[in-house]
């Protein structure tokens, strides 16, 4: 493997965890890809957290696609994302013959997060970081599975949106970012996949209410990452893991987000 090979940073939404067959196929495919290119998985678990909080009688709300996270919700958010979701993926990774290691953004103290909007409670974004632990894992032949629980420099745990976590890791590693979701790409008003997305088109579709909810965070994440890395970002469906290799080779499926 040469140093020119970029690390694939691939983010999956938590809904994948509810589909055992797809999760198995996804991790098998990534294990395959990791034979020729280093791979880091960043995962969500929003649906799992939502259900856990509801089951415990807590009302959970979102603002601009981000979960408002009061301090009293944090034990469940941390448990759901860094615990259940992460270890569920580790277990399936073992099943398909990979060497998964489940970590969160905070592990190894390489990545520091900070609160940018106090109205969201214990929600943060990555402020700075280095690749220490993740590089160690890759060098050892492991498949890092990263949950989006982070910590501040003085050790306060924070809930980070998993798309934003993936963006930060892709930037830290100068990697190649692919975001997987439960849709075939960014859809237009007629529910057709938009093959190429630019900032101008995204701003217009957000203003028109065609791109809403979690997809607003995703497209903004992809656009800023495309600009920083000067590389296209893929948005694909996790139901078709074979598309990952296809997109890496030819960028002709899903939505390709490009910097202008």
Ligand X SMILES: Nc1ncnc2c1ncn2[C@@H]1O[C@H](COP(=O)(O)OP(=O)(O)O)[C@@H](O)[C@H]1O
Q: Is 6 a catalytic residue?
A: no
DSSP-derived 3-state class of residue 28: helix
Q: Is 14 a catalytic residue?
A: yes
211 binds ligand X (CB under 6 A): yes
Q: Which two tokens stand for residue 85?
A: 């979701």
* C-beta of 67 vs 239, nearer to ligand X2W: 67
150 binds ligand X2W (CB under 6 A): no
The catalytically annotated residue of 110, 129, 150, 163 is 163
CB 201 → ligand X: shortest distance, Å? 11
Q: Which does 186 bind (CB under 5 to 8 A by kind): ligand X, ligand X2W, none?
A: ligand X
DSSP-derived 3-state class of residue 64: coil
Residues 6+ apart with CB under 8 A from 158: 113, 115, 122, 123, 124, 149, 150, 151, 152
The catalytically annotated residue of 13, 44, 46, 121 is 46
73 binds ligand X2W (CB under 6 A): no
Q: Which does 231 bind (CB under 5 to 8 A by kind): ligand X, ligand X2W, none?
A: none
200 CB neighbour count, 10 Å cutoff: 9
Alpha carbons 170 and 174: distance in angstroms, whole number:
6
* C-beta of 47 vs 99, nearer to ligand X2W: 47
| Cα 253–Cα 254–Cα 258 angle in degrees, nearest 5 | 95
By the 8 A CB rule, do 193 and 218 touch? no
By the 8 A CB rule, do 225 and 42 touch? no
Binding-site sequence positions: 45-46, 67, 159
Question: Which residues are near ligand X by CB under 6 A?
Answer: 13-15, 44, 46, 181-183, 186-187, 210-215, 218
Question: Which residues are near ligand X2W by CB under 6 A?
Answer: 13-14, 44-46, 49, 66-67, 77, 81, 123, 148, 159, 161-162, 214
Residues with catalytic function: 11, 14, 46, 163, 218
């Amino acid at each position: 493997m040469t140093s020119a090979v970029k690390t694939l940073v691939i983010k999956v939404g938590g809904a994948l965890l509810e589909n055992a067959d797809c999760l198995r196929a996804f991790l098998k495919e990534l294990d395959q890809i990791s034979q020729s290119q280093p791979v880091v998985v960043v995962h969500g678990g929003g649906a799992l957290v939502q259900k856990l909080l509801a089951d415990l009688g807590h009302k959970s709300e979102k603002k601009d696609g981000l979960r408002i996270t009061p301090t009293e919700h944090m034990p469940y958010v941390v448990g759901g994302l860094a615990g259940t979701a992460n270890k569920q993926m580790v277990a399936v990774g073992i099943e398909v013959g990979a060497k998964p290691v489940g970590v969160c953004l905070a592990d190894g103290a390489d990545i520091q997060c900070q609160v940018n909007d106090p109205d969201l409670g214990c929600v943060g974004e990555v402020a700075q970081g280095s690749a220490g632990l993740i590089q160690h894992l890759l060098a050892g032949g492991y498949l890092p599975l990263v949950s989006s629980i982070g910590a501040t420099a003085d050790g306060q745990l924070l809930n980070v949106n998993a798309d934003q976590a993936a963006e930060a890791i892709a930037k830290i590693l100068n990697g190649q970012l692919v975001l997987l979701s439960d849709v075939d790409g960014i859809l237009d008003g007629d529910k057709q996949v938009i093959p190429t997305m630019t900032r101008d088109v995204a701003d217009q579709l957000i203003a028109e209410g065609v791109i809403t909810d979690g997809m607003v965070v995703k497209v903004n994440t992809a656009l800023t990452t495309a600009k920083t890395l000067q590389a296209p970002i893929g948005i694909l469906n996790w139901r078709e893991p074979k598309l990952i290799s296809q997109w890496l080779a030819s960028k002709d499926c899903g939505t390709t987000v490009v910097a202008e």
